[in-house]
Amino acid sequence: MDDHLNSLYETDALIWTETQIALLRAGQFDQLDLENIISELGYQVRKDKNEVASRLCGLMTHLLKYQFQTQRRSRSWVSTIIQHRIAILGIFNQMPSLRPHIDEYVAYYYPKAARAAARETKLSRTVFPAENPYTVEQILDEEFFPGENEKAVEP
């Protein structure tokens, strides 16, 4: 790999990526910028995991708001819940190996979602359950809206 490719990686990631693809297609493996390819692949994995985590946290935040601030329910909240579910399921469809990690993501991000729901609703944090009241199936179920269809576990 020459210094030009390393410099290109730093100055124009798109051209660098296209160059790496062309080198791979041409079988010119000795010309590849392996160090930066490895870095990019690692970044992509972290990005995909973070996308699931972020969507899941946003989804749980809105489920809590929906359940515990019923007088403020809106089409916007419903739309956000649906969009997060679609995005999460889409990621799992493209990367099924992320799905087995959902239990750990839910456990880790529920307290953050509850704090966010408290902040956004201006309700006390103690209004929201200390432990996640939803199953993973409920969280991802497009028909589940807590408090509406009585599937939610009450605190």
Picking from 69, 52, 54, the residue whose alpha carbon sits closest to that of residue 146 is 69
Instruction: Report pTM.
Output: 0.81
- Give mean pLDDT, residues 124-132: 96
Cβ-proximal residues to 31 (8 Å cutoff; 6+ apart), any chain: 1, 2, 5, 23
How do residues 1-16 score in pLDDT, each as one tens digit? 567 767 888 899 899 9
Query: Does residue 73 have a pLDDT over 60?
Result: yes
